[in-house]
Structure formats: C-alpha cells, structure tokens
Structure 1
C-alpha cells in the first residue's frame, strides 16, 4: 500500500481527479503531528501512531492508494473544504458545531480529557475558587479548549497552543500551572517525564472521535464506516489499539 508524506498545501495535495472522487481509489488523509500516541514521527522520521496504523489498515481494506498529509490543526477543516485532502483522521472530536461544516464517520474511539501538572502543584480541579488565577494550557480548537473556555475562562487564564509539545514545554518551564489534554496524550507526553502527575479524575467529553469528510462525499463516508466496522469485527482494531493503550478506547 502506497504511503506518501507530504506537506499540506503542496501541489500534489491540491489536485484530485474527478474519477477518483467517485470510486475513491485514491484518498488523501490529513494528520496533525505531533499528537502522540495518535500520530507522531519516529526518530527516523517515519509517520506512525494509533490513528496512522488504523488509517493504513482502513486503506488496505478499501483497496485504496492513500496519501498521508501533515496539516496543522488550525487549518484542518479549511484545508478539507478547500480540497487539499479528502479526510481528517486526527483525533477530531464530533461536535454539533463541526458537524455543520463536515461529514463525520461513526465514532471510532473516545478518550477523556484529563488535568496534568507538576508534582508540586496541589489543587482541587473541581473547586473553581481553588483554581482562581491559575494559568491553564489547552490545544487551540479542541474539545478541551471548549471545555475550559466555557467552564473556567472567568476563573483561570487560558493559554492556547498549536501543538501539545509546545504546551508541555511551557508546563516544564513553569509558565503554566495546569494543562487539560486528551488523557492518552498526557500519559505519553507528560506522565512519561519525571516530576509530573495527573490531577483529579478524567472528564468524558463529546460524542467520540470520527473521520471528518466533506458533506458532499457521502459515498466515501459509507466506505469508511464499512471499513472501520470490519476492522473492529475482525480483531484488527484491537490489535492496533493494544500496541498503544493499556485500556479500551473503542466506541
């Protein structure tokens, strides 16, 4: 199965043949990197992660020649609608607002958001008065951003980041008191480092994560749903999931 990693916006990513739009023999899938363990690059520069491997298996099932495109999170939906790629498979939570702009597949995983901090930070994250004046990091445009903004923006200082890595650097540098991220991301990028901890209990958010496609591409959505269902039923999904998680994230 052919895999190409290209920068978003290049000429190859901009061009899609009309015939392919009907039969979907070729599919361009966008990922925001790094977002470990879902999508990231190995030290050798290879694109990998749970969603990357799931996308590879999905493309194999669809007998489609897939191109993998790296796209910054802020440009995901605009890039999809501008036909720079055909699908987003990058931990995009299904929300009513996004569903007005894109067509989602059935959800293929759901993980909670969680609070993380340095070990010397002690705070009850369920007590707004205890959090007053703290600086909280979130990744811009995520459901975690929405949650903190709607519930705590009048209590805490919200600092938004383009990548999870940048957020972790500021947490290490004590420019943040807390971060609120996908639990698996926090587990991989924060708890794996010395001097950090999870604070409080995880928080279930939204309706799960789906593959995002253009509203007109209903045939593609049907194919994607069928392929993901097959991967869940034949054990492929579980095999990939078990490589990255010690718990069940399947919807």
Structure 2
C-alpha cells in the first residue's frame, strides 16, 4: 500500500479521531478580536490581518486546512470557544492560571510585556501611588484589567473598561483617560507610531505575576487531538523558517519568541 498520501495531519486524524471527528477537520475556525494591531485588526473589506492572523493562516496551511476567522469581543472569546463557536482562540491571549481553569493552551507563540501609555509631558508611572486619583483605561477581559482591578483600584486609581482597544486609545486622545494599560509592543507599533499617538509615550514594562507575558492559542479542555495538531504545526513553522519570515515582516529584527 502506498502511504505517501498520509501527511502528518491526516495521519494524526486517522489515529486519534473518530470518523465523525475526522470529517470535521476540513477547516480550522479561529476566534479573534480584530482591534489589536499589529497582531489582529480588521481590513477595509471586513477581513482580518496582522501578525497573529498570518501565524494562524500559516498553521492552517501546515495542517492543510481552510482557515476561517470569526470576530468576537475579547471578553467573550472564552465563553464562545467553550460554546463551540470556533475551534481555537488566536487573539494575543496571554496564558494565565485563571484562564487555564477554563480552557487549555497550545505551546507558546510569542511573549509580550505590559506597559501604560501616557502623554509625553506626564510624569505618571505604572504604580498605584503615581496613578492615584487618575483614570486608567483598558480592554475588558484582558490580563491588564485583572491586574488593574487587583493592584491599582484599591490604591485610588479610577478604572474604565472598553470593548476594544480602539475605544481605549480614542478616549486617551480626547482626554477622558489619563493613561491606558495594554501590551507594550501593541501600543508602540499601532497607537504610538500613528499621528494620533504623537503626543504619547510608553512606560517601562511592568513586572508582576498577575501579568505574565506568554501568548498562546486557546483550546477547549480535553481536546488533545487539536492541541497535538496545533503544537506540531507551530513546531514546523519554526523548523521551516516560516515563523521567522512572518515575524520579520511585522517587527524587523525584533524577536518576540526568544526575548
């Protein structure tokens, strides 16, 4: 028997999946919140683009599956995943202990520190003492929200949650916020390099156990088949140099994986 047609993804399905499951893997549905450039953002025609999207599409190509992108509010991604609206989350989601109680994660995709953004003429620092009495904005459902509520609210910092990151930056520009808290690189490469961000700056990265930096794909618990497929594809992207090519496209010489 000629087994050359048994690619790794197909073989994995034959070995691990039932007949019903095997028929299901013609496509891979990723849930994402496309308001976080350069990682995930919307295109003019209603599609999605960005570093995370390119990685997701490369994973689908490696698995020889059709990639389908489903836009969703960030704070609703985990409930929607658990409800079966999509197969995995690819939306700059940090791996945390709280999230691991609800869902599983793939191997690490990349890492990114958290920082606050303030006006350049501001002396505000990312501490409760410095931000006391000030208003801090963040995208709801993020680790930055969890950190702000746990470490900053009790110190007198006023907190304001938003459905997406674009709304956070808009209120920062209009003066409704004194600072915003988000992934440092996301702020640098989207907002701070745009005309509206010309008068703003990033703080130093925040080091705290509540804001870990590892980003991965979210998967429903006990889905070892899909987890194995995704981890195999991620490994292949590194071995074939595809990951490095995508990273260079967006970040030049920056290394988000080995930083």
**Is 1:130 aligned to 2:130, yes or no?**
yes
**Is 1:234 aligned to 2:235, yes or no?**
no
1:249 corresponds, among 222, 240, 256, to 256
Q: What residue is the counterpart of 1:5 in the other structure? A: none
1:241 to 1:227, Cα distance in 2 relative to 1, 3 A: same
CA contact (8 A) 2:113 2:213 kept: no
CA contact (8 A) 2:118 2:124 kept: no
**Is 1:203 aligned to 2:210, yes or no?**
no
What do you get for the CA RMSD once the two structures are aligned?
1.9
Q: CA separation in 2, counterparts of 1:41 and 1:108?
A: 21
The offset of 1:105, in angstroms, is 0.5
Task: Report the count of equivalent residues.
Answer: 233
Q: Radius of gyration: which is bigger?
A: 2
Q: What residue is the counterpart of 1:64 in the other structure? A: 65
**Is 1:151 aligned to 2:157, yes or no?**
no
The offset of 1:25, in angstroms, is 2.9
1:103 to 1:22, Cα distance in 2 relative to 1, 3 A: farther
Q: CA separation in 1, counterparts of 2:22 and 2:219?
A: 12
Q: Which moved more, 1:20-29 or 1:107-116?
A: 20-29
Q: Residue 159 of structure 2 aligns to a residue in which SS?
A: strand
CA contact (8 A) 2:31 2:90 kept: yes
1:213 corresponds, among 177, 201, 219, to 219
Q: Which moved more, 1:140-149 or 1:202-211?
A: 202-211
Q: CA separation in 1, counterparts of 2:40 and 2:237?
A: 19
Q: What residue is the counterpart of 1:187 in the other structure? A: 188
Normalization by structure 1: what TM-score?
A: 0.87
Q: Residue 203 of structure 1 aligns to a residue in which SS?
A: coil
Q: CA separation in 2, counterparts of 1:21 and 1:114?
A: 43
The offset of 1:60, in angstroms, is 0.6
CA contact (8 A) 1:144 1:181 kept: yes
Q: CA separation in 1, counterparts of 2:27 and 2:133?
A: 50
CA contact (8 A) 1:69 1:85 kept: yes
Alignment of 1:19-168 (within 5 A): 19-20=20-21, 24-126=25-127, 128-155=128-155, 156-168=157-169
The offset of 1:66, in angstroms, is 2.1
Q: Unmatched 5+ residue regions in structure 1?
A: 1-16
Normalization by structure 2: what TM-score?
A: 0.84
The offset of 1:120, in angstroms, is 2.6
The offset of 1:44, in angstroms, is 4.5
Q: Unmatched 5+ residue regions in structure 2?
A: 1-17
Q: CA separation in 2, counterparts of 1:21 and 1:70?
A: 25
